[in-house]
């Protein structure tokens, strides 16, 4: 189950945001309108929709926003809008990660109701629809036409995911989209970080393949604004993070300065990992790269450069979007077209308009084999569902690959 739910979830968010925008243009006395049989005034009802969604989300994920939304007769619409987006981000994440619909929700000692995850999501969606309809009733009772928030209109304005995802923005490709969208990407990473990293499918599979990192020096290849470097550093690793984007490296350093570096500050460097880096040659016995391989323009040079930075016997662990998922997500049309450009849809919705390079799994593995790496583990991670897959099926959106660099004495492998 799961991502088929994205459409109704997004429709709910869109509808509530539409109503908030509409109410913003009403006079204060209009916002206080009510009608028999409804929850309360227009403003109170909006506050109630969002407050209830916070609660449902808590039951679904165990997470609550930092500030409580107290029931009030007037509400701060900008704050409400923020909260709607906060909820929607988390809900979408839940849908994409998938969940067991029969599993119980988080307990609330003050609430004897014990819905299942599926029941809670149903309640969340129904509750929003019901109260938005009440606002339409109130407006109608006062002779004001409410904005159209129906599923029909949503569907018309938001064509199916396949077309949306496959559409390429016009114009030439930017050389490194991550630099141009660094701020939006940082916000995206923040969301990932706020979730429970212990259950992040990529992070746990990577750490398990890397083995003990405490006290070890690790290269975080294509470290971006430092997400995985921080994961490693908090586990006691000494980390060197290299990335092509000067802006992301600047952000990584700023964040480290803000948070305070530990005993071993992460050494962030701007660098192109598809060109030799003499100063780091043969330096690492552990190399990690989190969700970057798909974004490197020259994957063969990347595999070679990482090999040149590795000690004999080194381990390399790469997390990537499963190449087969390019097709399942509707990003590309021909799986066999190495180098086809795909566009990240989820990130585009958050302002990161980044392309990636599709390559077949065979092409990726060949590139690393040719550079001398030996595959030791392939982990299928991030199970999910998709509009394009039959209901009830599950598919690994991600892969974690582990390679070793054979030592000179290892006769089983040709370099
Ligand atoms: C999707 S981001 C992932 C960043 C980070 N690993 C994370 O998980 O947040 C992909 C990163 O690859 C970097 N990148 C792409 N090509 C590169 C290259 N040739 N050398 C170094 N970094 C590169 C980009 O600048 C970008 O930061």
Domain end: 158, 187, 220, which one?
158
* Residue 64 φ/ψ region, left for φ over 0, alpha for ψ in the -120 to 50 degree band, beta for the rest: beta
Q: Note whether residue 82 is domain-resident.
A: yes
Residues with pLDDT less than 70, the chain:
1-3, 96, 158-174, 385-388, 411-415
What CATH code is carried by the domain that includes residue 136?
1.20.120.450
Reported as a single tens digit per residue, the pLDDT across 216-225 is 999 999 999 9
**Contacts for 410 with CB less than 8 Å, ≥ 6 apart:** none
State the SS3 of 176-240.
Answer: CHHHHCHHHHHHHHHHHHHCCHHHCHHHHHHHHHHCCCCCCEEEEECCCCCHHHHHHHHCCCEEE
Give the separation between CA 60 and CA 120, rounded to whole angstroms.
7
Q: How far is CA 183 from CA 47, 267, 345, in A?
A: 30, 21, 17
The model carries a pTM of 0.64
Same domain, 195 and 274: yes
Q: Which of 234, 244, 299 is nearest to 270 (CA)?
A: 244
Terminal CA-CA length for the chain:
44
37 within some domain: yes
**Claim to verify: residue 77 and residue 181 sit in the same structural domain:** no
Q: Has residue 171 been placed in a domain?
A: no
Shared-domain flag, residues 199 and 58: no
What is the pLDDT at residue 385?
63
User: CA dist 306 to 20, 50, 358, Å?
Assistant: 51, 48, 20
**163 domain residue, yes or no:** no
- Count how many domains the chain has: 2
pLDDT of residue 415: 42
- Same domain, yes or no: 248 and 357: yes
The two tokens of residue 345 are 């849809």
CA of 250 from ligand 1 middle (Å) equals: 14
Residue closest by Cα to atom 16 of ligand 1:
296
Specify whether 250 is located in the same domain as 380. Answer: yes
Kindly state whether residue 290 falls inside one of the protein's structural domains: yes
Ligand 1 atom closest to the Cα of residue 228 is 8
Name the strand (E) or helix (H) holding 1.
none
Say whether both 100 and 210 belong to one domain: no
The residue written with tokens 């704050």 in the block is 79
Q: Do both 336 and 285 map to the same domain?
A: yes
Out of 203, 222, 245, 318, give the residue to mutate to test ligand 1, the one with the largest number of ligand atoms within 8 Å of its CB. Answer: 222
Q: Is residue 7 part of a domain?
A: yes
Could you give phi then psi for residue 311, rounded to 5 degrees? -70, 155
Same domain, 72 and 114: yes
CATH code for the domain of 288: 3.40.50.150
**Ligand 1 nearest-atom number relative to CA 354:** 1
pLDDT at position 161: 43
Ordered DSSP codes for 118-166: HHHHHHHHHHHHHHHHHHHHHHHHTT-PPP---HHHHHHHS--HHHHHH
Output the pLDDT for position 35: 95
The tens digit of pLDDT for each residue in 354-394 reads 889 999 999 999 999 999 999 999 999 987 766 567 777 88
Please name the residue whose Cα sits nearest to atom 8 of ligand 1: 290
Q: Given this model, what pLDDT does residue 387 score? A: 57
Q: How far is the CA of 414 from the centre of ligand 1 (A)?
A: 30
State the closest ligand 1 atom to the C-alpha of 275, by its place in the atom list counted from 1: 19
Report whether residue 304 contacts ligand 1, using a CB cutoff of 6 Å.
no
**Domain enclosing residue 69, as ranges:** 3-158
**150 & 184 share domain:** no
What's residue 3's pLDDT?
58
Q: From CA 303, how far away is CA 316, in angstroms rounded? A: 10
* 165 belongs to a structural domain: no
200 lines ligand 1 (CB under 6 A): no
CA–centroid distance, residue 292 to ligand 1 (Å): 5
Cα of 327 vs centre of ligand 1, distance in Å, is 22
Q: 154 and 182 in one domain?
A: no
Cβ pair 393, 328 in contact under 8 A: no
Ligand 1 neighbour 292 (Cβ under 6 A): yes
* 295 touches ligand 1 (CB under 6 Å): yes
Q: Tell me how far apart the alpha carbons of residues 181 and 169 are, in angstroms, rounded to a whole number.
A: 15
- What's residue 227's pLDDT? 97
Q: Are residues 123 and 260 in the same domain?
A: no
Ligand 1 center from residue 243 Cα (angstroms): 6
b/e code 302-329 from CB counts within 10 Å (16+ = b): bbbbbbebbeeebbbbbbbbbbebbbbb
- Asked if 88 and 7 touch (Cβ cutoff 8 Å), the reply is no
Measure Cα distances from 276 to 143, 299, 306, 309, 379 in Å.
70, 14, 9, 8, 29
* 294, 295, 301, 350, best to mutate for ligand 1 pocket (most atoms within 8 Å of CB): 295
Cα of 269 from ligand 1 centre, angstroms: 12
Is the residue at 340 inside a domain?
Answer: yes
Query: Are residues 104 and 253 part of one domain?
Result: no
Number of Cβ within 10 Å of residue 283's Cβ equals 16
CA–centroid distance, 185 to ligand 1, in Å, is 11
């Amino acid at each position: 189950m799961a991502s088929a739910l994205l459409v109704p979830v997004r429709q709910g968010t869109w509808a509530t945001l539409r109503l908030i925008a509409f109410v913003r243009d009403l006079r204060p006395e209009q916002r206080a309108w009510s009608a028999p049989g409804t929850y309360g005034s227009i403003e109170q009802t909006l506050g109630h929709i969002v407050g209830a969604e916070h609660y449902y989300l808590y039951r679904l994920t165990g997470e609550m926003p930092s500030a409580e939304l107290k029931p009030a007769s007037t509400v701060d619409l900008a704050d409400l809008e923020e909260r709607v987006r906060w909820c929607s981000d988390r809900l979408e994440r839940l849908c994409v990660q998938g969940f067991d619909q029969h599993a119980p929700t988080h307990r609330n000692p003050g609430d004897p109701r014990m819905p299942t995850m599926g029941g809670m999501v149903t309640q969340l969606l129904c509750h929003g629809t019901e109260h938005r309809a009440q606002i339409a009733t109130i407006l109608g009772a006062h002779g004001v036409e409410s904005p159209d928030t129906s599923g029909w209109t949503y569907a018309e304005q938001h064509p199916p995911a396949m077309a949306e995802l496959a559409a390429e923005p016009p114009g030439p490709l930017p050389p490194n989209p991550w630099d141009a969208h660094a701020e939006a990407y940082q916000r995206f990473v923040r969301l990932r970080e706020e979730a429970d990293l212990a259950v992040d499918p990529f992070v746990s599979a990577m750490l398990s393949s890397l083995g003990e990192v405490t006290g070890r020096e690790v290269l975080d290849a294509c470290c971006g604004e430092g997400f995985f470097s921080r994961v490693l550093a908090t586990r006691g690793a000494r980390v060197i993070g290299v990335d092509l984007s000067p802006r992301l490296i600047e952000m990584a350093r700023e964040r480290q300065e803000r948070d305070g570096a530990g005993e071993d500050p992460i050494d962030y460097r701007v660098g192109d990992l598809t060109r030799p880096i003499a100063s780091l040659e043969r330096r690492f016995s552990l190399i990690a790269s989190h969700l970057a391989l798909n974004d490197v323009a020259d994957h063969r040079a990347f595999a070679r450069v990482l090999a040149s930075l590795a000690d004999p016997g080194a381990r390399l662990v790469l997390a990537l979007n499963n190449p087969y998922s390019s097709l399942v997500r509707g990003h590309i049309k021909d799986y066999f077209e190495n180098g086809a450009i795909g566009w990240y849809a989820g990130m585009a919705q958050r302002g990161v308009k980044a392309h990636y390079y599709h390559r077949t799994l065979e092409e990726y593995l060949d590139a690393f084999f040719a550079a001398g790496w030996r595959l030791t583990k392939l982990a299928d991670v991030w199970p999910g569902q998709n509009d394009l897959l039959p209901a009830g099926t599950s598919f690994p959106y991600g892969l974690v690959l582990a390679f070793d660099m054979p030592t000179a004495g290892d006769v089983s492998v040709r370099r």
